[in-house]
Structure 1
């Protein structure tokens, strides 16, 4: 039978892991799953994409606030 413990993490599990790791709240269970069954390249790419989107979102929010403040 397929043991869910031996399957690689899904996209959503990897995304959850990347976001949790970014904020420093990754659980030991998920970290163990990621290191034993995940592929480092997938996490690296997802981490870079997440970081880029996060930085661009912060930049857009600051620009919006400055625009609304009339600066």
Structure 2
């Protein structure tokens, strides 16, 4: 029985750090509220939340900046 346990432990790999594209997809899906439960669990299974936190802050900053720009363009046309 311990041989089976040892083999299972050898074949288990630690979760890989997600790539930039994967983080961007998760941030966008979360922002629009369309992220699947499976993907959410995968995101939270990684060791460090910092890539998601940083990407979320950057996305939010860019989104607010884009909204401000759109409002300024619309108001300047009046």
Q: Normalising TM by the smaller chain, what interval?
A: 0.7 to 0.9
Structure number with bigger Rg: 2
Q: Which runs of 5+ in 2 are unaligned?
A: 1-11
The alignment's C-alpha RMSD in Å is: 1.9
Structure 1 residue 59 corresponds to structure 2 residue 48 = no
Aligned to 1:27: 36
TM-score (norm 2): 0.74
TM-score normalised by length of structure 1: 0.80
Aligned-partner Cα distance in 1 for 2:47–2:66 = 28
How many residue pairs match? The answer is 66
Give the unaligned 5+ runs of structure 1.
none
